[in-house]
Amino acid sequence: KPPFCLKSIDKTFFTAYNKALLFVSEVKTMSKYDPYQNMLKVLDSAAGKMGITADDYAFLRYPERTITVHVPVKMDDGHTKVFEGYRVQYSSVRGPYKGGIRYHRDTDLGEVTALAAWMSLKCAVAGIPYGGGKGGITVDPRALSMGELERLTRGYTKAIAPVIGPDMDIPAPDVNTNSQTMAWILDTFNLLSGGKSLPGVVTGKPTELGGSLGRNESTGRGVLFVMRETLKKFGKSLAGTKVAVQGAGNVGGIAAQLLYEAGCTIIAISDSTGSIYSEKGIDMNKFTAYKEASTKNKVANYEEEGIVHLPCEGVLTVPADVLVPAALENSITEEIAKDVKAKIIVEGANGPTTAEADAVLEEKGITVVPDILANSGGVIVSYFEWVQNLQNYYWSEEEVNSRLETTIVSAFETVWKCAEKYKTSLRLGAYITAVDRIVTTKKLKGSAI
Ligand code: NAD
């Protein structure tokens, strides 16, 4: 803002002032982290290692379809507010588009596009018959009442209804959305379909509406299986391993609790309000009960004997054996990577590590288990949920968990072997596995219109 002391408009000042503003905004734009560009960098490196031509995978550098919608919502105070939302259908080469819906004030088309691309690669790594997509709305959901959130979700569903469906595009929860959000989407979609019962249009819904047992814990459980397999490769086990977890939501909170029950020591955990650290380990039963008691219970206000409060980023650089970033993308930057002490990183979040940070971590000899493998437990059990919906036959929780273990451990082994074969990082090993599967399927389909 211009200084308030200016009484009359000084043209020279304002020209200089506006130029300065323009410069600052350009610098900001230039330096803004772009997860889609980050994804493309890794994709191109993987293709280079594989020795495939640019023509072979050109289609994978772009989304097949991008939709921007504007959703008018009647707010509780009577006025109408219009929200912007997106659905990016990145790839349908291996099956219907599949991917979550995010509600966040910073969500934009670039972020959703990157997330949709990662979903396409993730489903291919997991070996499940899906393509990839993602959705999002630019909104701070904490500022909305339940009624406003329901109207927003129903309006968004109406806007994307023509392009979703059990055999076309299947949404699921992501950051700030949950089984309740999926229930609203399902109900709206069924009403718009003339009252048909189509539970397979979304996954991650409540079990009462056809959700799968074990889906809520599946991403965290998958993180545990992948961490266990990685430790095994180094002759170690979960018991006694010191773990730091960034994010205490569906992925981070549940992963931390399951790891604790499996014998790990959770030495640090965080949410958007701060981190806590304890050398002897946090009592996860107490912490989980505190978080579950109210959505207002935040890490910054948590108290337990022996814990120290740190800033948000503090969790990333504590002396842990394994670090699990499970919050948002762009958490481990080049600067933070220099201070990471863990020997293994298991990416619970999508895109938590920038390409520049990856190079630093590799140089430091830190093993990074990439997002498209490490957090695939969620989409694997989403696939199981969809299969159960299509068959109208439901499995026990033990069966779901055991099939998850078999599928994710097999994906882990494939990626590990691929990384060994190409003498590369696990991230490139995972990308090579995915690109190979998608490109092969595309070639088999031939070159139609
Ligand atoms: P969530 O909304 O349940 O939890 C997110 C957590 O991150 C919250 O505890 C929030 O407070 C915390 N957080 C936000 N900003 C933070 C910051 N700067 N520092 C520390 N903590 C911060 O979301 P979620 O479903 O757990 O998703 C987390 C990540 O995992 C996202 O990248 C998402 O795309 C990915 N993911 C989710 C699933 C799933 O099934 N939910 C599956 C695969 C991948």
pLDDT tens, position by position, 361-376:
999 999 999 999 999 9
Q: Closest ligand 1 atom, CA of 351?
A: 32
Q: What's the whole-number mean pLDDT along residues 2-7?
A: 34
Whole-number Å distance, alpha carbon 301 to ligand 1 midpoint, is: 19
Q: Closest ligand 1 atom, CA of 251?
A: 26
User: Is pLDDT larger for residue 11 or for residue 125?
Assistant: 125
Please check the confidence at residue 437 and state whether its pLDDT lies above 50. Answer: yes
Whole-number Å distance, alpha carbon 20 to ligand 1 midpoint, is: 36
Q: Closest ligand 1 atom, CA of 376?
A: 43
Q: Which two tokens stand for residue 235?
A: 């002759």
User: Is position 232 annotated as part of the catalytic site?
Assistant: no
pLDDT at 283: 98
Contacts of 113 (CB under 8 A, 6+ apart): 36, 63, 66, 88, 90, 134
- 448 — pLDDT class (breaks 50, 70, 90): low
Q: What's the whole-number mean pLDDT along residues 56-69?
A: 97
- 447 — pLDDT class (breaks 50, 70, 90): confident
pLDDT digits (tens, 9 = 90+) for 279-325: 999 999 999 999 999 999 999 999 999 999 999 999 999 999 999 99
Q: What's the whole-number mean pLDDT along residues 63-75?
A: 98
Closest CA to 87 of 72, 74, 98, 75: 98
**Residue identifier of the C-alpha nearest atom 15 of ligand 1:** 272
**Residue identifier of the C-alpha nearest atom 32 of ligand 1:** 349
Yes or no: say if 123 and 379 are a contact pair by the CB < 8 Å rule. yes
Long-range contacts of 31-38 (CB under 8 A, 24+ apart): 33/329, 33/330, 33/354, 34/110, 34/114, 35/110, 35/111, 35/114, 35/115, 35/329, 35/330, 35/351, 36/110, 36/111, 36/113, 36/114, 36/117, 38/114, 38/351, 38/354, 38/355
Q: Which two tokens stand for residue 53?
A: 């031509």
User: Which of 112, 118, 272 gets mutated to test ligand 1 (max ligand atoms within 8 A of its CB)?
Assistant: 272
Please check the confidence at residue 81 and state whether its pLDDT lies above 70. Answer: yes
Please check the confidence at residue 6 and state whether its pLDDT lies above 70. Answer: no
Q: Closest ligand 1 atom, CA of 115?
A: 34
pLDDT at 33: 79
pLDDT at 82: 98
- 32 — pLDDT class (breaks 50, 70, 90): low
Please check the confidence at residue 257 and state whether its pLDDT lies above 90. Answer: yes
pLDDT digits (tens, 9 = 90+) for 85-132: 999 999 999 999 999 999 999 999 999 999 999 999 999 999 999 999
Rounded CA gap, 432 and 434, in Å? 5
Long-range contacts of 280-285 (CB under 8 A, 24+ apart): 280/306, 281/242, 282/307, 284/256, 284/257, 284/260, 285/257, 285/260
Whole-number Å distance, alpha carbon 10 to ligand 1 midpoint, is: 48
Whole-number Å distance, alpha carbon 225 to ligand 1 midpoint, is: 19
**98, 122, 134, 242: which is the annotated catalytic residue?**
134
**Residue identifier of the C-alpha nearest atom 35 of ligand 1:** 349
pLDDT at 23: 44
- 147 — pLDDT class (breaks 50, 70, 90): very high
pLDDT digits (tens, 9 = 90+) for 170-214: 999 999 999 999 999 999 999 999 999 999 999 999 999 999 999
Rounded CA gap, 214 and 314, in Å? 31
Ligand 1 proximity of 316 Cβ (cutoff 6 Å): no
